[in-house]
Amino acid sequence: MQMGRRTFLAGSAALAASGTTTAMAQHNVANSSGSEAPKLKAPANACDCHHHIYGSQYKVDPRSTLRPGDATVDDYRALQKRIGTSRNVIVQPSTYGTENAPTLDALVAFGPSARAVVVVDTAVTDAELKRMHGLGARGIRFNLAQAGATTPEMIEPLSKRVNDLGWHIQINASAAKIMEIMPILEKVPSPIVFDHLAHIPEPDGVNHPLFAQVRALIDKGKTWVKLSGAYADTKVGPPTYSDSSAIARAYVKAAPERLVWGSDWPHPGVLDPEPKPDDAILIDLMLDWAPDEAVRNRILVDNAAKLYDFPKN
C-alpha cells in the first residue's frame, strides 16, 4: 500500500473537487471517496466478493498491526446502494485474528445474500468449521501480508480439512511471499483464491515471474483471482490505474471463468490522512477490464455464485 501515494493523493483530490453538493448528499459513503454513482449498471445478483467489517466492540488480536476504525454493516449497505451490488462476501480482517465474531455477526445481519471467508488456525475444531459453514462461511484466509494468526505451515493441513466442506483457501501476501510458498500451493487439495490481483509487482506487471506462476495454477483448474485492490500495487494511481488495469485485462483474457470482483471496502490499507479510493471508479474499472458485457456479468454474477455457493438465481 506504499506505492504511488503522491499520484493517488493528487488524483483523489481532483476527483473530490469535481463532485457536486447534491451528489455528495445522495451518495456519500463512509470510508469511500467521491460521491457520484458509477457508470456501470451492475447486473442482478452482482457480488462484491471482498470487503471487511470492523467494530470497536470486538476484541483486537494483539498480534495484529492493521487496526482501522469502525466500518459497519449499515455503512456497507450504503456502499451497496451506491455501486449497485446485491450480494457480498465478508472477509475476516487480520485485526481480529481467529476471533471471527465481527465477520459472523455481519454474516447473520446480511442474511442469505452474503457469504464469508474466516480466519482459523490448526486448533480449530471440525465442529466449529461445520458451525461456520452453516452460517455461510465458504473459505479460510491466510493473510501473510501482515503479522497475525496464520503462518505458511498451516496452509496444507488446513486446506485438507476445509476441502471436505467444499471451501477454498484465500491468500493475501506480497509477491515475494507468494513465490516462497508456491511449492505448498502447488500441492494443496482445495481451491485457491488470490486476493488483489495476486499482488503482481509494478512496474514489471505481467512480465514479472509471479504472473506466469499464478497463470500456471489457474490453468490447473482450481485457482481463482480477485479483481480487487487496483490501488494496492499501482504506481500510476486513479482514475485509470493503468498499470494494475493491464494485469486485470490479462487475467480476463486468459481465464475469465476463474475471476471474481471485490471492492476491498473499507480499504483498510489506506490510512488517514490519505483519502480513501472512490468506489464508483473502482467498479467502473470493470468496463475497461471486461468490456464484453457477457464476460463482465460472468465475473460479477456467475463466477461468484459458483465460488461462494450462492443460488443460481
Residue 15 lies in a domain: no
Residue 35 lies in a domain: no
pLDDT at 270 over 80: yes
pLDDT at 5 over 50: no
pLDDT at 259 over 50: yes
**CATH number, position 143:** 3.20.20.140
Residue 177 lies in a domain: yes
Residue 10 lies in a domain: no
Average pLDDT, the chain: 92
Q: pLDDT tens digit string along 136-156?
A: 999 999 999 887 799 999 999
Q: pLDDT tens digit string along 41-69?
A: 999 999 999 999 999 999 999 999 899 99
SS3 49: strand
Residue found under cell 480476463: 252
Residue 293 lies in a domain: yes
Which residues form the domain of 89? Answer: 43-308
Residue 38 lies in a domain: no
Q: pLDDT tens digit string along 180-205?
A: 999 999 999 999 999 999 999 999 99
The answer to whether the peptide bond before residue 266 is cis (omega within 30 degrees of 0) is: yes
CA–centroid distance for 46 within its chain: 14
pLDDT at 10 over 50: no
225 versus 6: which is more confidently predicted?
Answer: 225
Q: What is the structure's pLDDT at 235? A: 96
Q: What is the structure's pLDDT at 146? A: 80
CA nearest 179: which of 162, 194, 164? Answer: 194
Residue 17 lies in a domain: no
Mean pLDDT across the stretch 101-122? 98
State the Cα–Cα distance between residues 231 and 111, nearest whole angstrom.
30
Torsion region of 75: left, alpha or beta (phi above 0 gives left; psi -120 to 50 gives alpha): alpha
Q: What is the structure's pLDDT at 26? A: 55
State the Cα–Cα distance between residues 235 and 91, nearest whole angstrom.
26
Q: What is the structure's pLDDT at 1? A: 38
Count how many domains the chain has.
1
pLDDT at 112 over 90: yes
